[in-house]
């Protein structure tokens, strides 16, 4: 006797802008974006994510944050090294991101020694290093102070014409500030798209 969480779930999302996924705890928000990210296989049906008929370069922020046993800089450079980016480009990219997000000066601190809020903030910055054109964010500011939250929101609003952003939040005010469209999920069903 199989239990299905999502049945006949179907949604077409706009190609540009910010799609916010809202819903109560346990409604399937995080599960949905983990399926979108390809971390969980759907048992049936298909998930097709294309931006301008191409597979997008995805930046994904999970609620379960893990860092390598290295400093802040090395944690940011690692995803770029894997993709074979040039050393000078890696340095420039990371320095400009740290500067933009007011995190310069913390490069040599062990990422695992950061506060919970700073870990989440750094984790958000890490999603951007490979210049994704699709950002999938699971509660990116749940542990952040107002200042850091504002900086992230400002960045997302500025970048939404260059990338697609899909974001889970339980903060209605944040949803109103950011959303171009809202998916409301309840018990595994999409209730409305507005």
Q: What is the pLDDT along the chain (194 residues), one digit of tens a residue?
A: 444 455 556 566 667 799 999 988 877 777 777 777 666 666 666 666 767 777 888 899 988 899 999 999 999 999 999 999 999 999 999 999 999 999 999 999 999 999 999 999 999 999 999 999 999 999 999 999 999 999 999 999 999 999 999 999 988 899 999 999 998 888 777 776 76
pLDDT of residue 2: 44
**How far is Cα 167 from Cα 153, in angstroms, rounded to an integer?**
11
∠ CA(144), CA(148), CA(152), 5° rounding? 105
Beta bridge partners of 20: 167, 182
pLDDT of residue 17: 92
Strands laid side by side in the 164-168 sheet: 58-61, 134-138, 164-168, 17-22, 181-186, 189-193
Output the pTM of the full model.
Answer: 0.87
**Tell me, what DSSP letter sits at residue 182?**
E
């Amino acid at each position: 006797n199989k239990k299905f969480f999502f049945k006949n779930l179907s949604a077409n999302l706009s190609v540009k802008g910010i799609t916010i996924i809202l819903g109560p705890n346990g409604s399937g928000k995080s599960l949905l974006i983990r399926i979108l990210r390809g971390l969980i296989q759907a048992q049936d049906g298909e998930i097709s994510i294309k931006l301008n008929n191409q597979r997008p370069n995805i930046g994904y922020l999970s609620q379960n944050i893990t860092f390598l046993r290295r400093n802040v800089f090395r944690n940011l450079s690692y995803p770029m090294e894997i993709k074979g980016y040039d050393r000078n480009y890696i340095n420039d990219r990371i320095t400009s991101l740290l500067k933009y997000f007011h995190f310069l000066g913390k490069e040599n601190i062990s990422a695992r020694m950061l506060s919970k809020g700073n870990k989440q903030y750094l984790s958000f910055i890490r999603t951007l290093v490979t210049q994704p054109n699709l950002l999938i964010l699971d509660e990116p500011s749940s542990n952040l102070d107002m200042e850091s939250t504002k900086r992230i929101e400002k960045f997302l609003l500025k970048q939404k014409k260059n990338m697609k952003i899909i974001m889970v939040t339980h903060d209605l005010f944040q949803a109103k500030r950011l959303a171009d469209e809202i998916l409301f999920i309840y018990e595994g069903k999409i209730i409305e798209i507005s």
